[in-house]
Structure 1
Amino acid sequence: MTPDDAIIDQERAHENAWYARALEERFFEREGFRRLVAWNVAALRREVTLRPDMRALSIGAGLGDYELAIAPLVRHVTAVELSETAAAAARDRLRAAAVHNVDVIVGPIDTQGFAPGQFDLVYAMGVFHHFLPDQRRRLLALVHEWTTPSGWLYIRDPNARGLLRLVLEGWFRRRSTVHAEQETSLDPYMLMAEAQLAGFTDARLDYIDVVGGPLPWLVRSESTLFWRAVFAFDRAWLAVPGLRRAASQFALVARR
């Protein structure tokens, strides 16, 4: 077993245990998380023009929340998920919603034998911070090969330069069981440089949220008024150019 294999096995065990607990507690059915998914999908759609003929690849699909939202807008989604527990639940949810244009594949993303130029869009929602730097750079090179010319790359992850991340991440990691050992927030400029090194062009950064991203993991409130106020605060913060870069999450958008 290689060191990378050991890391993957550790991550798979962590993800299986986390998703089993999340399913038991119905974590992703909470109002805050439902609103966060809708917020993140809206952010993607502001940056990427989704078309009915698009073939999309989802890296780290989890329980399929983003696939349920994106599949009706594109031709097909190939969703890759490391956790067998999450993948099985995603298939059940997609079937229950009568979504038939999503294939869920179980396994490490970097072992998939996709064809060159197979996908018009590759997206990863909160996934790349799970990878070590060498894994991340190798994956970006693979993704560049899998993406069609002029195709899109969209990566959303925690912002290492975010104000709340700088102040509270240590406390959050101690309190939360979400994180695996190797997870860490990402420097957006570093990730952009790595994507450019892999061959992507027209790279730019978007800043997604301030408290709307972290709070659903910590607060159980089902109050629609509370969550409207949370995302109204984020909308106001992100409207100020000098504050945007201190957001809690960022998105890297690039083209092949």
Structure 2
Amino acid sequence: MTAPDPIIEQERAHENAWYTRALEERFFEREGFRQLVAWNVAAFRRQVPLRRDMRLLSIGAGLGDYELALAPLVAHITAVELSETATATARQRLAAAGLDNVTVITGPIDTQAFDRASFDVVYAMGVFHHFLPEQRRRLLAQCHDWTRAGGSLYVRDPNARGLLRRVLEGWFRRRSTVHAEQEASLDPLALREEALAAGFRDPRLDYIDVIGGPLPWLVRSDSRLLWRAVFAVDRAWLAIPGLRRAASQFALVARR
């Protein structure tokens, strides 16, 4: 029997403790997060056309927010999440929504034994920056194997080249309790090269938000007007080509 990876076990303990506290505080029920999830889903759907016959793999599903939004649009989602606390809640939320086309698996993503070409789309929302570089490269190779020919990879993560990340990353990490020790923002250009090395084709970068991604972690306001204004700023900022690369989050989109 293979011994547990100490880094994975450390991450699991961190995630379980953090999700327990977040659920107690109803952290993800805040208006900022509701609007952020909707914003991220819209960005995903602009880049990855979905059909009713598609099978998706979600890496790091958390509490199932994205699965709740995407499951009605596709045939099936397999959602993998390391934290037992998160998966238990995700199953409850999906059942309450009457969604029976999502299978939630508890455990590390890199130990899953999916068949080759099992999925039309593999997506990860804010997950790859949890992995060390060598883990990330191995996982990209696995994702390539799991994705059918012509299928898509979508990876969204914090942008190490972003303006706010460069200026405030250290302060944000000190203030936020969500970060595990090994987490780090990702260089989108480096991730694009890693996707190419894993065998993916036509990798391109999309830039997602500037202040709308970081602020819900720091600001507790439930004012809808405030959050609409926040995302209006992001919409205006991202419409300027020269400023897009300074976004706080980016997405890598690639084809198998």
TM-score normalised to the size of structure 2? 0.99
Residue of structure 1 equivalent to 2:172: 172
User: Root-mean-square deviation (CA), in Å?
Assistant: 1.1
User: Post-superposition shift, 1:3?
Assistant: 9.6
- State the distance in 1 between where 2:180 and 2:126 align: 13
Residue of structure 2 equivalent to 1:191: 191
Q: Could you tell me which amino acid in structure 1 is paired with residue 184 of structure 2?
A: T
- State the distance in 1 between where 2:199 and 2:58 align: 20
- State the distance in 1 between where 2:79 and 2:91 align: 10
Structure 2: segments with no counterpart, 5+ residues: none
Residue of structure 2 equivalent to 1:100: 100
**Matches for 1:1-256 after TM superposition, within 5 Å:** 5-256=5-256
SS at match of 1:245: helix
User: Post-superposition shift, 1:116?
Assistant: 0.3
> In the TM superposition, what whole-angstrom CA distance separates every residue of 1:146-176 from its partner, at most 9, and x where no partner exists?
0000000000000000000000010000011
Structure 1 ranges of 4+ moved more than 3 A: 1-4
- State the distance in 2 between where 1:187 and 1:150 align: 26
Q: Could you tell me which amino acid in structure 1 is paired with residue 41 of structure 2?
A: V
> In the TM superposition, what whole-angstrom CA distance separates every residue of 1:168-223 from its partner, at most 9, and x where no partner exists?
01000001101000000000000010001000001100000000000000001000
Length, aligned pairs only: 256
Structure 1 12/240 Cα, relative in aligned 2: closer, same or farther at 3 Å?
Answer: same
Amino-acid identity (%): 79
SS at match of 2:246: coil
TM-score normalised to the size of structure 1? 0.99
- State the distance in 2 between where 1:31 and 1:162 align: 24
- State the distance in 1 between where 2:22 and 2:3 align: 28
- State the distance in 2 between where 1:195 and 1:2 align: 28
